[in-house]
Structure 1
Amino acid sequence: MKKRNRALVVGGSNGIGLAMAICLAREQPVLIVDKVEPDYDQISSNVKSFIVFQKFDLLSADYSLFDEFDDIDTLVVTAGWGKLALFEDIPEEVIINMINVNTISVLRIIKHFYSKIHSATTFHTVVMGSIAGFMSSPFFSVYGASKAALKIFIESVNVELKKKGFANRILNVSPGQIKGTLFGGGENNLLLIFPLAEEIICRMKARDDLFIPQYEEVFKNVLQRYYQDFRAEGEHSYDYKLLRLQQN
């Protein structure tokens, strides 16, 4: 019997990554690569046997580990982190680590699988970006810069794929705040995340290249305001985040 291809979820131990890993495990074996073990309490017994974990720190210099996975047909990269802080309060080490994890690690991982993406054989790729990568985001200056770099990278590579005649695409998922994740000091609650995870997988299979959750309800107007006057919208964003910090 032919061995089934696996899905690889980098950063899949919690939050949206874990929710996607569980959804994908209903259809195929899943390999989670992360710095910490998955939140096993969130995984039901009927899919737990289809999920395997391998520990890896994205700050490592050697990424040859990813060359060992020759049975992957779906790549999901959700690893990344950010924290509300003014640039003046961010240490240089944090700048380096955030860019390395949020941006450089993604490019390196995709490079290791690019022969599969750059191919006539179907290969699905999802990268978790952020709406912060589409506009100025005070208190998120470094985080936003890391996600803006991903946005341009994904757009550019997708054009290269199209011009070469390949149908595979990298899907940039760029949400605002996702409830039910550890991001920003929250807690895992996968019941809140499963609908989004399922929609991402659906759009991935359709070979979409961009998905902004709540675009019509929220971010269409936000982006329009930003393009009309990025300075004023930046100030509005500053005041909004300052209020969030004061409330916390």
Structure 2
Amino acid sequence: MKKTVLITGASSGFGQATAKLFAARGWNVIATMRTPRDIPGTFVTRLDVEKPETIRAAIDAGLQRFGRIDAVVNNAGYGLFGVFELTPDEKVREQFEVNVFGVMNVVRAVLPHFRENKGGCIVNVSSGAGVFGLPMISLYNASKFALEGFSESLSYELGALGIRVKIVEPGGVTSTKFGERSAKEANLPPNGIRDYDTFVSAANQVFDAMRASRSAARDSTSEHVAEVIFEATNDPSDRLRYVATSDILPLVEARRRTSESEYMAFMRSSFGPKLPPVG
């Protein structure tokens, strides 16, 4: 019997590449998105992670079409870019509504079906920004750190029920449309607020350098990330995290394999503008 996967945010980027890959590998694919568009070989239906009623409807439609769901890939998300102080409260809340509460909404909706089947796999697409902090994306960082903590805790709760939880951590792949929404949401200092100018200029240089390194990395593509998502979904082991792109490995290893003082010294030398003297 063919297995079935439900994927959120499948209209572009990682989600679309993942939907195409699973379909090519013989899976039934429920490709969900806010504004449905055709993806050959998949069953496309509407799902907005901020609207629980659309999540339930998408799951019901998938079950009616295929009879069961074996895996869910929580891919939908976006990133705010800018200075925290200048970000309106409603945007802060929206960042968490999509990247954290949206994932929770999907998980809560599918768990009764997984428990009935005594099995299933939940793959949450995180980010390098769920492992290490970077300037100008404090809210995106916060949402992905929250997602990582939620996923790890959830893996303990669900492991005893035969339900696997996986975290996939890609870098900022430039071939996706992820950056388009981030750019639209960017909150740079308006005229009259100049205190952040030096910091913003330094941070932009950091991100320019990171984008250049990503462009040079052969595995920084949506298709490669889709392969890692497919690997994680089909891995029967209790492994939790999968780093999906090599460009973030130096930062991931600095965070996870060095002391706190070594890590902070490395990060501040790489990304932190020099602090003014005290007094």
TM class, shorter-length: 0.7 to 0.9
Inter-partner Cα distance in structure 2 for 1:51 and 1:218: 37
Aligned to 1:33: 32
Distance 2:158 2:254 in 1: 30
1:127/1:217 CA distance change after superposition, 3 Å: closer
Deviations 1:50-109 (A, max 9, x none): 212212322225343245143211211100000321102211111111100000010111
Q: Which runs of 4+ in 1 moved over 6 A?
A: none
Partner of 1:219: 251
| TM-score, normalization by structure 2 | 0.70
Partner in structure 1 of residue 124 of structure 2 = 127
Q: Matched residues in 2 for 1:133 and 1:217: separation?
A: 13
| Larger CA Rg, structure 1 vs 2 | 2
Of the structure 1 ranges 86-95 and 130-139, higher mean CA displacement relative to structure 2 is found in 130-139
Aligned residues: 225
TM-score normalized with structure 1 length: 0.78
1:194-217 per-position Cα deviation (integer Å, ceiling 9, x unaligned): 233113211221133211124694
Given that 1:120 and 1:167 are in contact with CA atoms closer than 8 Å, whether structure 2 keeps it comes out as no
Equivalent position to 1:183, from 156, 175, 178: 178
Residue aligning to 1:200: 229
Inter-CA distance 93–228: structure 2 relative to 1 (3 Å threshold) = same
1:18 match = 16
C-alpha distance after superposition, 1:147-180 (max 9, x if no partner): 1111111111111233x2x443111111221231
Contact 1:138 1:237 in 2 (8 A): no
Distance in 2 (CA, whole Å) between partners of 1:23 and 1:184 is 22
| Compared CA separation, residues 203 and 22, structure 1 to 2 (3 A) | same
Give the 5 Å matches for 1:77-226. 77-118=74-115, 121-162=118-159, 164=160, 166-185=161-180, 192-207=221-236, 208-214=239-245, 217-223=249-255, 224=257
Instruction: Report % sequence identity.
Output: 24
In structure 1, C-alpha distance between the alignment counterparts of 2:230 and 2:245, rounded to whole Å:
16
Instruction: Summarize deviations over 1:203-244 as a string: whole Å, max 9, x none.
Output: 22113321112469433433145733564455356459xxxx
